[in-house]
Chain A
């Protein structure tokens, strides 16, 4: 059990900077998700903790020990790989027990502990098979078993669910979260799937182009996205973003104008005539009528009934705006329509893409 500390870590591959001056701390027993698009540096960050990559500069601490230069075997970690990387020539039991074998644990004790972990993960009936003879979900559990069998200080997960089909993925997600809570081991989980990060993490670190853009509890990151990047990355469908001009106390676009007076506090430092971005979550948008003061007009682009909810997309001033409407019957709107919303849910982002916080 230990916390993990990153102190201004930079990693360069030749001229390319994969991770740029990243600092953070994962508390003991905490479950942190590194979330970001492919190529954002999240896997490199994970691999530096594992000792598979060396940082160009900065220090990495596990517990009180500086492990920046330590070999992987000196770090006492358990890692689940995206492709599972089960050893094809070994049985499931030998695969699970491999970390014990390299630590010099005897054959009988290895077999006993592998069987115990396998039983916890409901794969104990597979111990004598080989990786090629079991299903994807079972392979995934085996690789988790191998990562936890030696009771390491830190768990690392490198997109462990991305190779499972949709149904198994949901099952494995709850299972991994439950397991991590039960074992209470510090964990870092890399994913590009925002739903996974939201569902599992105590805290989410959103990465973009080698930097951590926002680091906080999932709901905080969801409700108060620091930038348009975070707003657009989290949520399915993501937050609607509309470019507007701030002029004369109003947000103006080519087809609508909205009263900006409720946001006066946030806009104090914004010059008249600035280009801003408005953001609103699809679940905070509803079909608009004549009586709505906060209303944006558009053309119906698509209506997608999904069962418990429907997605309605309007084309508004050249951009697409989506509403999630809950209820039994999908709306039948065609042609001209409008969306309405409560200004309390509206986010305003400055020219640099940062969210303007209420003061």
Chain B
């Protein structure tokens, strides 16, 4: 009896799990299959006949191609470098320096930035960027994204730096390193996995960001892919599914590539050197 109950329990578990998995997997499958069909459909089916002509038409759209392979890259990589660098330095200071109320500061930053959403602050942000003369520049977009992502990035990074024993740094100091030499030789390499996490996270956020570039940019030649995907809509405002999915598939590739590269080159891992 108990065995039957156990088996039935397992069966029920797998059925429920399969249903959940399908809910998440189907849209992804659709995204992979749809670009290779000649007709637009909203159902998941193996493309018949198989065709690459959609990609040909996407690459013929120079506006969209430049948006994806130039503008989005500039904005995402620029923000990634700025956020990762600043978050690392700030998190290191917040974690190590004896500052009064540093916990309140860290939590305050995150809470404040998550409550005041980008959408609500869009008008003052627009005015600020306008007065700085940065409307319609990559720098304007990068700065606004950096401001928005930095608090959470500092928070993630601080958690990471906090988890690193101080004796690494102390042993470098005692060995004769200057504080800056210790940071460069020891602290930075050890927090690098954390920097990779923050970097990829920032990249993904900017990559998918629509509102900020849509509002701050004017010229079509500077629009990123998130905005340019609308060039595959008809004048009536309906998406041409074959082309939007083909573009969307291309749109996911740089993120995948970045993840695989970071994982291969640096790894989201950590070697031991502390005995506890």
Give residues in A with beta carbon < 8 Å to B: 50-52, 71-73, 76-79, 81-89, 98-99, 101-103, 130-132, 136, 139-140, 143, 146, 150, 156, 163
Given contacts A87-B273, A89-B271, contact A99 B176 (CB under 8 A): yes
B272 close to A85 (CB less than 8 A)? no
Nearest B residue to A79 by beta-carbon distance? B174
Q: Across the interface, which residues of B come within 8 angstroms of A85, CB to CB?
A: 165, 167-168, 170-171, 273-274
Given contacts A52-B173, A102-B176, contact A89 B189 (CB under 8 A): yes
Interface centre among B172, B177, B270, B275 (most CB of A within 10 A): B275
Q: Across the interface, which residues of B come within 8 angstroms of A130, CB to CB?
A: 271, 273
Q: Does B186 contact A (CB under 8 A)?
A: yes
Q: Across the interface, which residues of B come within 8 angstroms of A102, CB to CB?
A: 172, 175-178, 181, 185
Nearest B residue to A89 by beta-carbon distance? B189
Interface membership of chain B positions 119-161, coded 1 if the CB is closer than 8 angstroms to chain A and 0 otherwise:
0000000000000000000000000000000000000000000
A98 close to B190 (CB less than 8 A)? no
Q: Across the interface, which residues of A come within 8 angstroms of B174, CB to CB?
A: 50-52, 72, 77-79, 156
Interface membership of chain B positions 235-276, coded 1 if the CB is closer than 8 angstroms to chain A and 0 otherwise:
000000000000000000000000000000000001111111
Kindly list 13 other residue pairs between chains A and B, CB separation below 8 angstroms, not including A73-B173, A73-B178, A136-B275: A52-B170, A71-B173, A72-B173, A72-B174, A85-B167, A85-B170, A87-B168, A87-B186, A87-B190, A88-B190, A101-B185, A102-B178, A139-B273
Q: Across the interface, which residues of B come within 8 angstroms of A89, CB to CB?
A: 189-190, 192, 271
Give residues in B with beta carbon < 8 Å to A: 165, 167-168, 170-178, 181, 185-186, 189-190, 192, 270-276
B176 contact from A139, A150, A156, Cβ within 8 A:
A150
Q: Across the interface, which residues of B come within 8 angstroms of A99, CB to CB?
A: 175-176
Q: Across the interface, which residues of A come within 8 angstroms of B186, CB to CB?
A: 87
Q: Across the interface, which residues of A come within 8 angstroms of B167, CB to CB?
A: 81-83, 85
Q: Across the interface, which residues of B come within 8 angstroms of A140, CB to CB?
A: 275
Q: How far is the CB of B273 from chain A (nearest CB, A)?
A: 3
Q: How far is the CB of B135 from chain A (nearest CB, A)?
A: 43
B273 close to A98 (CB less than 8 A)? no
Nearest A residue to B188 by beta-carbon distance? A89
A88 contact from B175, B272, B276, Cβ within 8 A:
B272
A83 close to B274 (CB less than 8 A)? yes
Nearest B residue to A139 by beta-carbon distance? B275
Given contacts A52-B170, A88-B190, contact A146 B175 (CB under 8 A): yes
Q: How far is the CB of A110 from chain B (nearest CB, A)?
A: 13
B276 contact from A79, A83, A146, A156, Cβ within 8 A:
A83
B273 close to A84 (CB less than 8 A)? yes
A132 close to B273 (CB less than 8 A)? yes
Cα–Cα distance between A77 and B175 once the two chains are bound (Å): 7
Q: How far is the CB of B179 from chain A (nearest CB, A)?
A: 8
Which 9 A-B pairs have CB atoms at the shortest separation, nearest pair first? A88-B273, A85-B167, A88-B271, A131-B273, A85-B171, A132-B272, A86-B273, A99-B175, A132-B271
Q: Across the interface, which residues of B come within 8 angstroms of A88, CB to CB?
A: 190, 270-274
Given contacts A83-B167, A85-B167, A87-B172, contact A131 B272 (CB under 8 A): yes
Q: Across the interface, which residues of B come within 8 angstroms of A79, CB to CB?
A: 171, 174
B172 close to A98 (CB less than 8 A)? yes
Q: Across the interface, which residues of A come within 8 angstroms of B274, CB to CB?
A: 83-86, 88
Cα–Cα distance between A88 and B192 once the two chains are bound (Å): 12
Nearest B residue to A164 by beta-carbon distance? B275
Q: Across the interface, which residues of A come within 8 angstroms of B170, CB to CB?
A: 50, 52, 72, 81, 85
Cα–Cα distance between A79 and B175 once the two chains are bound (Å): 8
B176 close to A81 (CB less than 8 A)? no
Cα–Cα distance between A151 and B35 once the two chains are bound (Å): 68
Q: Across the interface, which residues of B come within 8 angstroms of A101, CB to CB?
A: 185
A sample of 24 inter-chain contacts (CB < 8 A) reads A52-B170, A52-B174, A73-B177, A81-B171, A82-B167, A85-B165, A85-B170, A85-B171, A85-B273, A85-B274, A86-B273, A87-B186, A87-B273, A88-B270, A98-B175, A98-B177, A98-B185, A102-B176, A102-B177, A103-B176, A131-B272, A139-B273, A139-B275, A150-B176
Cα–Cα distance between A79 and B169 once the two chains are bound (Å): 13
Cα–Cα distance between A132 and B272 once the two chains are bound (Å): 5
Q: Across the interface, which residues of A come within 8 angstroms of B270, CB to CB?
A: 88
Nearest B residue to A77 by beta-carbon distance? B174
Q: Across the interface, which residues of B come within 8 angstroms of A143, CB to CB?
A: 171
B176 close to A73 (CB less than 8 A)? yes
Cα–Cα distance between A136 and B272 once the two chains are bound (Å): 11
Cα–Cα distance between A71 and B176 once the two chains are bound (Å): 9
Cα–Cα distance between A78 and B176 once the two chains are bound (Å): 9
Cα–Cα distance between A99 and B182 once the two chains are bound (Å): 11
Q: Across the interface, which residues of A come within 8 angstroms of B177, CB to CB?
A: 73, 98, 102
Q: How far is the CB of A70 from chain B (nearest CB, A)?
A: 12
Q: How far is the CB of B268 from chain A (nearest CB, A)?
A: 14
Nearest B residue to A52 by beta-carbon distance? B170
Nearest B residue to A82 by beta-carbon distance? B167
Cα–Cα distance between A86 and B189 once the two chains are bound (Å): 13
Nearest A residue to B192 by beta-carbon distance? A89
Q: How far is the CB of A1 from chain B (nearest CB, A)?
A: 18
B276 close to A163 (CB less than 8 A)? yes
